[in-house]
Chain A
Amino acid sequence: MNGDTSQATPLRQAVEIPAADRFEAEAMPHLNDIFRTATRLLGERSRAEDIAQEVYLQAWKSFHRFETGTNCRAWLFKILFHCVNHHRRKWFRFPLLKETEEFLETNLTSSPPIPDQLTDEDILAALDRIPADFRSVVLLVDVEEFSYKEASDILTVPIGTVMSRLSRGRKALREQLTDVARSYGIGKVAGGEV
């Protein structure tokens, strides 16, 4: 009987609670996550605001398809990446950074440790400089703590690709941070002076 009650509750909620209230409860708490990921993906707060707004409007319009009790946050991120990819094609007629294997080959010759004295701004600036595909995976897995499987679903790429991009993204980020540290004259890294 208890099992029946626990199963019936979400159903009853779905029937009785107005959609706007459910949306408020399920989706709105993730606005900060969506906004800051959008900011890091796009590099601009104003664009990130527009995208976050669009994500939520799209989510609201298709909220009838969302199943209560499933992962609303992952669903919102999936919409976010869909919107970002759509707008990226429109906004960025040419890539801001070269996001190919070439980038890695020329930039990742080693995997140095990262100095601790860097500020949040330094870290964010470094993150913004790594290729978008790698940055997306780093944000999803390392920052938003999605599993590989969830990240794979959100980005619609195989898990292997997620793992590969994550590894390369982390390396690229370390390299960028090392450069920043070096410019500050901070510490020494293995294999050389920074």
Chain B
Amino acid sequence: MNEDRLRAAVKSVTAPPRLQARIRSDIRESERKNAWGRYLLPVAAAVLVSLGAGIAYQLGHLRMTTGSQESYIASVSGRVANVMKVGLGDHVHCTVFRKFPKNPPTFEQMVEKLGPDYEGILPLVKDRAPADFRIVMAHRCSYHGRKFVHLALRSDSKLLSLVISLKRDGESFTKENLAPVLSESGIPMFQAGVQRFEIAGFESQKHLVYVVSDLPGPKNMEILTALAPALRDLLNKVKA
């Protein structure tokens, strides 16, 4: 058999023009999908990582045992004066290690939880707190056998607590040789910072009052300063 004859016979068959068109169309389609893939893949990866981080964050909170919470609070509190530990401990215990519900309680529910002596704090804080913070919790709690009036405020990822507690055994900022950083309407203001927490405090006749947050120190102090005069007047009227 002559190979040229065979070759000529086989090569007499040619691909139909529509086949080229189909192939080019396939390639264009594949390119289009790949282009989407190029954009979608990083986006999907970012979403997954965020989701994973969110879940890990949430689970981390849920799984943190009381022991490890206490250990953390002790390690943080160990570096501030005793009188500052009071506000910081309750903030970390009650605000930081808490999973807040999506829908905070209503104003009326919070009023009810604070009780008649302290319910006046709510409108006061609502009026004077920075506009981007909203009250997500207001209640009376206890920590290490000590009772607190506690308001938690939130702005995106920032947390802020207004912590109020009755003085014990003549507790005072000045007794611990702390120097006021400023005075507002004759009220000395005290400040401390440890790790990411900023603590600003003052005292009324019977109460120690703290604003604790992860805001910068001056901003944290500014919030306390805005609250202090009215808050002191209100607390001084509370019957012990």
Of all chain A residues, the one with the shortest Cβ separation from B12 is A120
B134 nearest CB across to chain A (Å): 53
A143–B6 touching, CB < 8 Å: yes
A142 to B1, CA, bound (A): 11
Contacts of B31 in A (CB 8 A): 20
Partner of A36, one of B2, B5, B6, B14: B14
A52–B19 touching, CB < 8 Å: yes
Looking at B21-29, B92-100, B124-132, the stretch in contact with chain A turns out to be B21-29
Looking at A7-15, A27-35, A100-108, A183-191, the stretch in contact with chain B turns out to be A27-35
Contacts of A40 in B (CB 8 A): 10, 13
A127–B2 touching, CB < 8 Å: no
Contact residues, A86-121 vs B (CB, 8 A):
114, 116, 120
A123 to B1, CA, bound (A): 10
Partner of A35, one of B2, B3, B7, B13: B13
**Taking each of A57, A170, A177, which has the highest tally of chain B beta carbons within 10 Å of its own beta carbon?**
A57
B6–A57 touching, CB < 8 Å: no
Contacts A123-B9, A127-B10, A142-B7 given; indicate if A35 touches B15 (C-beta within 8 A): yes
Contacts of B27 in A (CB 8 A): 20, 23, 56-57, 60
Of all chain B residues, the one with the shortest Cβ separation from A124 is B9
B6–A53 touching, CB < 8 Å: no
Partner of B2, one of A45, A114, A143: A114
| A-side interface size class | 20 to 34
Contacts A20-B27, A60-B26, A61-B30 given; indicate if A174 touches B14 (C-beta within 8 A): no
Tell yes or no: A49 within 8 A of B by CB: yes
A32–B3 touching, CB < 8 Å: no
Partner of B1, one of A37, A49, A52, A177: A177
Contacts of A127 in B (CB 8 A): 6, 9-10
Contacts A143-B6, A143-B10 given; indicate if A31 touches B22 (C-beta within 8 A): no
A61 to B29, CA, bound (A): 11
Complex interface bits, B23-60 against A, C-beta within 8 A gives 1, otherwise 0 = 10011001100000000000000000000000000000
Knowing that A20-B31, A40-B13 touch, tell me 20 more A-B residue pairs with CB under 8 angstroms.
Answer: A31-B15, A32-B11, A39-B13, A45-B16, A52-B19, A52-B23, A53-B26, A56-B23, A56-B26, A57-B27, A60-B30, A114-B1, A116-B5, A120-B8, A123-B5, A127-B6, A127-B9, A143-B10, A143-B11, A174-B1
26 contacts between A and B (CB under 8 A): A20-B27, A28-B23, A31-B15, A34-B15, A35-B14, A36-B10, A36-B14, A36-B15, A37-B10, A49-B19, A53-B19, A53-B22, A53-B23, A56-B26, A56-B27, A114-B2, A123-B5, A124-B9, A124-B13, A142-B6, A142-B7, A143-B3, A143-B7, A143-B11, A173-B6, A174-B1
B interface list, Cβ under 8 A from A: 1-3, 5-16, 19-20, 22-23, 26-27, 30-31
